[in-house]
Amino acid sequence: MKSSRERRRGQPGSRDAGALAGSCTDRAEPGAAEAFPSHLSRRAGALPAERLPVILEVLPNDDYALIDSGDGEKLERYGPLRIVRPEGQAIWRRALPESEWRKADAVFTGDTDEEGMGRWRFPRAPLGETWPMRHDGIDYLGRFTSFRHVGVFPEQATHWDHMAMLIRDAKRPVKVLNLFGYTGLASLVAARAGAEVTHVDASRKAIGWARENQEMARLADRPIRWICEDAMKFAEREERRGSRYDIVLFDPPAYGRGPKGEVWQLFEDLPRLAELCRAILTPRPLAVVLTAYSIRASFFAIHALMRDTFAGMGGRVESGELVIREEAAGRALSTSLFSRWLAA
Ligand SMILES: C[S@@+](CC[C@H](N)C(=O)[O-])C[C@H]1O[C@@H](n2cnc3c(N)ncnc32)[C@H](O)[C@@H]1O
């Protein structure tokens, strides 16, 4: 019998993931029967402790800064470049004068709807598709993409730092699975901290960019498996094969597609993927970190899901928002919701 995800194939696409998803069929294995149960009842075990709300902030730094925001836009500094993009949440007024905003090197002039293709304009000098960027000493490439994204989500940096600390403090071999890994920054941070990393993304293009970043970061000798596959299918297979991980990161879009047209819809698919993430943990796991963005839900929703999912495992679930603190007037720009289960 076909899974509900396979039956949903062919629905209209949207968002970034749809744009990135290529026809990458390498590494994927023929589908086997679904062994992992589809309908799971609520667990009986004691719920993990909880901490919320937790607001994780990224402050302006040498690599990245949210310089100013307002009037539906944001002005950011990505390494050497100043970039202006639409920002629906910036319903306040800009703090800096127009002359500062006019110094931008790149302006995204697209539909403010994230699904629009839009286009980039370079007011000062023509720019190529990529430019050198750095995160905490890790070199990589920023890139202008058709979906107004720039090849990195800087708000994730607090998750990366926390994960690196867990890996180093473990003082033993640590295996990390990065689902929906995009251009691979989290995978590079984990590999530099000493972990063995498996990175999964549906887009051949994104996997190519992530590999380029590994070269740029001079981490080519680190053990990172780059896998172009549907995140759910990959997790199901790892569960069947008995492959296990100490840390799982999953940062799914609201809507996306696997390389074979598999449909990802967060509200329908998240509970099952969260269960799979639990099922593929080692006997001494460290953490499972979920980020969600562009969805009509509060962090209370993913908090409840994560607590129920990790019932009986001990530890605690922390949930809240990832925000970026603005340089000009100190306002906080919320970017996403997160919920993470921590073993200790
Ligand atoms: C927002 S990005 C993740 C950002 C990343 N965690 C980071 O911090 O850089 C979402 C990614 O999910 C991928 N994606 C979308 N649908 C997918 C699916 N069904 N299976 C695997 N990856 C998928 C997209 O190709 C895209 O790279």
Distance, CA of 111 to CA of 114 (rounded, Å): 7
In the three-class reduction of DSSP (H, G, I as helix; E, B as strand; rest coil), residue 162 is classed as: helix
Query: How confident is the model at residue 111, as a pLDDT?
Result: 57
- Protein residue closest via CA to atom 13 of ligand 1: 180
Distance, CA of 321 to CA of 134 (rounded, Å): 24
Query: How confident is the model at residue 294, as a pLDDT?
Result: 79
> Percent of the chain having pLDDT more than 70?
87
In a domain, 103, yes or no: no
pLDDT higher than threshold 90 for residue 21: no
Higher pLDDT, 30 or 41: 41
Query: How confident is the model at residue 88, as a pLDDT?
Result: 93
Q: Is the CB of 153 under 6 A from ligand 1?
A: yes
CB atoms within 10 A of CB 85: 20
- Protein residue closest via CA to atom 16 of ligand 1: 256
In the three-class reduction of DSSP (H, G, I as helix; E, B as strand; rest coil), residue 323 is classed as: strand
pLDDT higher than threshold 60 for residue 27: no
Alpha carbon distances (Å) from 35 to 40, 167, 174, 239 = 13, 31, 27, 9
Query: How confident is the model at residue 133, as a pLDDT?
Result: 98
Band the pLDDT of 35: cuts 50, 70, 90: confident
In a domain, 314, yes or no: yes
In a domain, 93, yes or no: no
Over range 95-100, report the average pLDDT: 98
Mean pLDDT of the chain: 90
In the three-class reduction of DSSP (H, G, I as helix; E, B as strand; rest coil), residue 214 is classed as: helix
Higher pLDDT, 121 or 29: 121
| Ligand 1 nearest atom to the CA of residue 21, by list position | 25
Distance 303 CA to ligand 1 centre (A): 21
In a domain, 140, yes or no: no
Distance, CA of 212 to CA of 133 (rounded, Å): 13
Over range 145-166, report the average pLDDT: 95
Model confidence over 278-292: pLDDT tens digits? 999 999 999 999 999
> Among 12-21, 172-181, 223-232, 269-278, which stretch is predicted with the lowest mean pLDDT?
12-21
Model confidence over 214-226: pLDDT tens digits? 999 999 999 999 9
- Record the tokens describing residue 173, joined without a space: 């071999």
| Ligand 1 nearest atom to the CA of residue 258, by list position | 19
Q: For the chain, how big is the Rg over CA atoms in Å?
A: 20
In a domain, 116, yes or no: no
Q: Is the CB of 145 under 6 A from ligand 1?
A: no
In a domain, 283, yes or no: yes
Q: Which residues contact 79 (CB under 8 A, 6 or more apart)?
A: 63, 64, 131, 132, 133, 134, 142
With residue 294 as reference, give the H or E element that holds it: none
257: CATH = 3.40.50.150
Structural domain count, the chain: 1
Distance, CA of 195 to CA of 183 (rounded, Å): 18
> Among 53-67, 78-92, 117-131, 200-214, which stretch is predicted with the lowest mean pLDDT?
117-131
Give, as one character, the DSSP assignment of residue 322. E
pLDDT higher than threshold 60 for residue 17: no
In a domain, 336, yes or no: yes
Query: How confident is the model at residue 59, as a pLDDT?
Result: 98
Q: With b meaning 16 or more CB within 10 Å and e meaning fewer, what string describes 265-286?
A: bbeebbebbbbbbbebbeeebb
pLDDT higher than threshold 50 for residue 236: yes
Distance 216 CA to ligand 1 centre (A): 21
- Record the tokens describing residue 158, joined without a space: 């607090």
Q: Is the CB of 154 under 6 A from ligand 1?
A: no
Query: How confident is the model at residue 5, as a pLDDT?
Result: 61
Over range 175-194, report the average pLDDT: 98
> Among 143-152, 218-227, 270-279, which stretch is predicted with the lowest mean pLDDT?
143-152
Q: Is the CB of 235 under 6 A from ligand 1?
A: no
Q: Which of 135, 156, 201 to mutate to test the pocket of ligand 1 (most atoms within 8 A of CB)?
A: 201
Distance 254 CA to ligand 1 centre (A): 10
Query: How confident is the model at residue 15, as a pLDDT?
Result: 33
Q: Which residues contact 173 (CB under 8 A, 6 or more apart)?
A: 196
Q: Which of 11, 180, 289 to mutate to test the pocket of ligand 1 (most atoms within 8 A of CB)?
A: 180
pLDDT higher than threshold 80 for residue 19: no
pLDDT higher than threshold 70 for residue 4: no
- Protein residue closest via CA to atom 4 of ligand 1: 182
Q: Which of 182, 229, 230, 233 to mutate to test the pocket of ligand 1 (most atoms within 8 A of CB)?
A: 182
Could you tell me which residues are beta bridge partners of residue 245?
A: 281
Over range 157-185, report the average pLDDT: 98
- Protein residue closest via CA to atom 2 of ligand 1: 182
Distance 311 CA to ligand 1 centre (A): 27
Query: How confident is the model at residue 148, as a pLDDT?
Result: 87
For residue 20, the enclosing domain spans 4-57+152-342
Distance, CA of 65 to CA of 154 (rounded, Å): 9
Model confidence over 82-91: pLDDT tens digits? 999 999 999 9
Distance, CA of 29 to CA of 297 (rounded, Å): 34
Q: Is the CB of 254 under 6 A from ligand 1?
A: no
Over range 133-139, report the average pLDDT: 98
Query: How confident is the model at residue 264, as a pLDDT?
Result: 98
In a domain, 139, yes or no: no
- Rounded to 10 deg, the angle between the 266-279 and 299-309 helix axes is 30
Q: Which residue's structure tokens are 């023929």?
A: 30
